[in-house]
Chains A and B, each alone.
Chain A
Amino acid sequence: MLFNSVVLILLLLSFGLQEFVPAVPIAYHARLFLPAVFFFTSAVATSFPMMLLLAFVTGFLWDARFLPAPMASPDEALALMEGVERQFTGMGSGEVMFGMSIVFFGLFGTLMQGVRPLFKRGRLELPVVMIGIAVFGWLLSQYLMITFIRGSFSFPPAVWSKMITDTLLAMLVAPLLFLLLHALARWMRFEIRYDGLRHYSHGR
């Protein structure tokens, strides 16, 4: 219980620390997404219900803080409702829905749960690779969602370059976070269980 509470507090703190993380201008403004990386690393250390809670909190706060505000201008809303063919100015309609990040984090968090046995044994190679896959998948999912909503399939090389750089930065920091979580778990005598992966002989 204490471990889970500390992980939740650290996740919330990571959102504050994210404001201090600078972008890398020469790498198409790539940056380290600390809350996302922390969530993916903690998804390996915590139980499935706790992971879902962390996914909800991470996704909710991520969209609340970083998703642009939805369209609110009455002129635009009215034009859409009336189906008026008018030159449409201001923000685009049908942007990424608030809450989609919760779905992405839930899905990739579930994926990360698969490497819990390795994390429990202290083996970090595959978990770090999985962090990279999760971060890349999360960014790609967001971009595909935007592309799908806005139409016009557009994949400039800069997008791939940015996603790869973001992924590499995440993989660079992931081992430190894993070590932190390992140390916390040992200190708080928290045992990482993976009951969901065991097969019970009596069918439970």
Chain B
Amino acid sequence: MRKLNVLAVVLFVASLVAVFMLNTPTTRRIQERVLAVFAPFVHSSAAVGDAVEAVSAPGMDSVELAERNEQLRMEVQRLRIIAQKYNQLVDENGQLRKVLEFKGASPFKMTAARVIKRSSTTWWNTLLIDKGSLDGIGTDSPVITEQGLVGKTGKLAPHMAEVILLTDEMCRVSAKVEGTLEQGILAGERAGLDMVPNLHLRFLSRNAPINAGANVYSSGDGGVFPANLLLGRVIRFQNRDISGEALVKPAVDFSALDHVFVIEMQEILQ
């Protein structure tokens, strides 16, 4: 073997070992820098995708647009009234907790974000949103829509973040089943290649009294995902070797995500 080739192999192996020795914070920093570098390409591809969709989508006439606009304005006004009522209830709840000397419920701040695109990975279910570290987004923050839990943030760029979807096997949530005391771990399917992937709620009791149609919520254990986020609905329950497992239909339609909310858990107010 030529000396140059031997030297090349030695350098290659040495570089490989150096990469394997990188610690987690360094790896994350590298990934975030690379994501920031490729951010213009991501935004451009999303713009191209939107333009193609706009051309191919059937046009709406002005009367239809005006009606839709009016419906949306009324919906916004209705939601403003509900939000006002919600804030009043939160204040009242806080005051009552204080009187009863209960620990304050931890409020959370939500940041709205637009979905740029589904990611181009091989075996992982992720998507990219248009808010990042400079917009107040943190790593490992829950991401939700009005339908339920979407997933969790991963890599961050200054104005972009990767979200690992609930349908990915990597994103596991401590969950409870409505109407029972059963708790388990909810996770997606490996590679999640189906058009509508299902979720698996594992480590339940054998012969647990779980009916099809029961809602599944996050339990709040682990401190990552807040409690009582809707995750999905039980399709069926089956016994495994030593525990039970429920097949769950996700609450969120992952094929039609446009806007999401990133939750930042704030410090508990004493």
Listed in ascending order, the chain A residues whose CB lies under 8 Å from chain B are 15-23, 25, 28-29, 31, 33, 48-49, 52-53, 55-56, 60-61, 64-73, 75-76, 86-92, 95, 97-99, 102-103, 106, 139, 142-143, 146-147, 150, 154, 156, 158-159, 161-162, 166, 195-196
CA gap between A163 and B242 in the complex, in Å: 33
- Cβ contacts under 8 Å, A23 to chain B: 118, 120
- Give min CB distance, A139 to chain B, whole Å: 6
Q: How far is the CA of A69 from the CA of B213 in the complex (A)?
A: 34
Q: Which residues of A contact B124 (CB under 8 A)?
A: 66-68
Known: A70-B28, A102-B16, A150-B169. A196 touches B222 (CB 8 A): no
**Given A64-B34, A146-B190, does the pair A139, B122 have CB atoms closer than 8 Å?**
yes
Residues in A with CB closer than 8 Å to B45 are 19-20
A176 to B162: give the CA distance in the assembly, Å: 32
Interface contact B170-A68, CB-CB below 8 Å: yes
Closest-CB distance, A86 to chain B (whole angstroms): 7
The answer, yes or no, to whether B8 is at the interface (CB within 8 Å) is yes
Q: How far is the CB of B144 from chain A (nearest CB, A)?
A: 15
**B39 to chain A: closest residue by CB:** A19
Q: Confirm or deny: B12 has a beta carbon within 8 angstroms of a beta carbon on chain A.
A: yes
When distances are taken between beta carbons in the complex, the residues of chain A under 8 Å from B120 are 18-19, 21, 23, 31, 66
Please give the residue numbers on chain B whose beta carbons come within 8 Å of chain A beta carbons, in ascending order.
1-2, 4-5, 7-9, 11-12, 15-16, 19-20, 22, 24-25, 27-28, 30-31, 33-35, 38, 41-42, 44-45, 48-49, 118-124, 126, 139-140, 152, 154-155, 162, 164, 169-174, 183, 185, 189-191, 193-195, 219, 221-225
Q: Is the beta-carbon distance between A69 and B162 smaller than 8 angstroms?
A: yes
Across the interface, do B169 and A143 meet the contact criterion of CB distance under 8 Å? no
Knowing A95-B170, A162-B191, the reply to whether A48 touches B8 (Cβ < 8 A) is yes
Query: Do A65 and B38 touch (CB < 8 A)?
Result: yes
Report A-chain residues with C-beta under 8 Å of the C-beta of B38: 15-16, 19, 65
Cα separation A29 to B196 with both chains bound (whole Å): 12
11 CB-based A-B contacts, threshold 8 Å: A15-B38, A17-B41, A48-B8, A49-B7, A52-B8, A64-B34, A68-B162, A70-B27, A90-B140, A91-B172, A158-B193
Q: Bound complex: CA of A106 vs CA of B34, how far in Å?
A: 21
Excluding A69-B154, A143-B123, A150-B190, 7 further A-B contacts by CB distance (< 8 Å) are: A67-B124, A68-B154, A76-B224, A89-B172, A146-B190, A154-B190, A156-B189
In the bound complex, do residue B27 and residue A90 qualify as a contact, i.e. CB atoms below 8 Å apart? Answer: no
B contact face: mostly helix, strand, loop, or mixed? mixed
**Given A68-B126, A70-B24, A143-B191, CB of A92 within 8 Å of CB of B172:** yes
Please name the residue on chain B nearest to A71 by beta carbon: B24
Closest to A161 in B: B193
- Nearest A residue to B22 via CB reads A98
Q: Is B12 within 8 A of A52, CB to CB? A: yes
Contact A102 to B5, CB < 8 A, known contacts A64-B31, A73-B140, A95-B170:
no
Please report the C-alpha to C-alpha distance between residue A162 and residue B140 in the assembled complex, in whole angstroms.
Answer: 29
- Residues of the A chain whose Cβ atoms lie less than 8 Å from the Cβ of B22: 98-99
Tell me how far the C-beta of A32 lies from the nearest C-beta in chain B, rounded to whole angstroms: 10
Partner pick for B152 among A21, A61, A90, A146, CB 8 A cutoff: A90
Cα A143 to Cα B193 in complex, Å, equals 13
CB neighbours of A55 from chain B (8 A) = 12
User: Which residues of chain B are near A142, meaning CB under 8 Å?
Assistant: 122-123
Give chain B residues whose Cβ lies under 8 Å from the Cβ of A102. Answer: 15-16, 19
- Name the CB-closest residue of B to A98: B27
A69 near B155 with CB under 8 A, answer: yes
List chain A residues, Cβ under 8 A from B33.
Answer: 64
How far is A15 from B223 in the complex, measured between Cα atoms in Å? Answer: 36
With both chains docked as a complex, state the minimum distance between the C-beta of A157 and any C-beta of chain B, in angstroms: 10
A71 to B223 CA separation, bound complex (whole angstroms): 15
Task: Kindly provide the distance from the CB of A1 to the nearest chain B CB, expressed in whole angstroms.
Answer: 14
Complex contact A88–B126 (CB within 8 A): no
Check B194–A158 contact: CB distance below 8 A.
yes
Residues of A within 8 A of B140 (CB): 72-73, 90-91
Expressed in whole angstroms, the Cα–Cα distance for A16 and B39 within the complex equals: 9
Closest to A159 in B: B191
A196-B5 CB under 8 A given contacts A73-B140, A91-B140, A142-B123: yes
